[in-house]
Every structure is written in C-alpha cells, then in structure tokens.
C-alpha cells in the first residue's frame, strides 16, 4: 500500500473539497449571472474645461462598459467650457455610439438637463466639473461596474 489509511482519508477529503470549490466557481461564473438579468444603467458625466483629459477618461469608461456586457450608455454634459472640450466631446460622440453629448451654459442645471437623456433604469452621476478628479473617476467607474455585475444579486418573487 502506497499511503496509510489516515493519509488516504486526508487526500480524499482534500480532493472532494477541490471538486466542491470548482463547482462553486463554475456556478458563480456561468450560471448565477444568467439567472437574473441586471438592470440597465447610465453614466451621467458632468465636465468643464477638461480638454487635456476628457478623451482618455471617456474612452476608458466606454472600454470598461464594453467589457461589462450589460446595457449601458454615457451622457456627457459640458458646462460652459472655455477650451476645446466641446469639440473633443462632439468627436467622441461620433466615434463611440453609446456616448451622448449635451452642451449647456453655466446658468442651466446640468444634471436635470442630462438625466432626461439617460436610458438606463439606474443612473450614476459623476461630476468632473468641480467634485471629482480624473483619478477618482477611474477608480469609481471600476468599482461601480464590478458591483453592478457581480456583488449585487436580488431574488425576484414570482408574480
């Protein structure tokens, strides 16, 4: 006999645990996300005078949304920028089909104007004009997309 009885029991227990972990991971990865569809969401991004960073930030967001494989859109509201932000946003809207651009003057309410264009049932408002930095924006986007797709599961009751 190659192993003792005690060693055989330990190896059998570890192999059964490994099979359970594998099946659990397969459930989390393959079956559980398909049981309940996640609601669609929109990102409402308010920008002002970000001509040097706005293209990179929005392309990053569009790339993350594409990998999330959930129905999402981006509405960008430019609040009276004094630089080339509006022109860059118009070019991005023509390049990326999920981006909608709204250009407003400073006296108007940016969020109330942009929220009507959002198609998702959940709207994430990200204010780059005076509340967040671009680094905070990227971290927040990663956290929101990860939470929307994996961490939140709600049990639906039959009608």
pLDDT digits over 101-123, tens only?
998 876 667 788 888 899 988 89
Q: How many domains does the chain have?
A: 2
Shared domain for 99 and 121, answered yes or no, is: yes
- Residues with Cβ within 8 Å of residue 75, at least 6 apart in sequence: 42, 43, 44, 45, 99, 100, 102, 114, 115, 117, 118
Are residue 2 and residue 58 in the same domain, yes or no? no
Task: Say which residue, 51 or 76, is predicted with more confidence.
Answer: 76
Same domain flag for 95 and 75: yes
- 154 — pLDDT class (breaks 50, 70, 90): very low
The rounded mean pLDDT for the chain is 83
Same domain, 68 and 19: no
Range of the structural domain that residue 100 is part of? 41-151
Share of the chain above pLDDT 90, in %: 40
150 pLDDT higher than 60: no
């Amino acid at each position: 006999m190659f192993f003792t009885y005690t060693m055989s029991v330990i190896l059998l227990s570890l192999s059964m645990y490994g099979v359970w972990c594998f099946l659990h991971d397969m459930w989390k990865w393959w079956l559980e996300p398909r049981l309940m569809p996640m609601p669609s969401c929109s990102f409402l991004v308010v920008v002002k005078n970000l001509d040097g960073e706005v293209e990179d930030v929005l392309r990053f967001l569009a790339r993350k949304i594409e990998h999330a494989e959930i129905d999402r859109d981006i509405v960008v509201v430019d609040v009276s920028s004094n630089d080339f932000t509006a022109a860059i946003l118009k070019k991005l809207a023509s390049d990326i089909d999920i981006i909608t651009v709204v250009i407003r003057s400073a006296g108007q309410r940016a969020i109330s104007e942009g929220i009507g264009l959002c198609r998702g049932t959940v709207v994430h408002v990200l204010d780059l004009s005076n509340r967040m930095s671009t680094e905070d924006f990227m971290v927040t986007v990663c956290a929101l997309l990860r939470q929307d797709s994996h961490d939140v599961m709600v049990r639906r009751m039959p009608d």
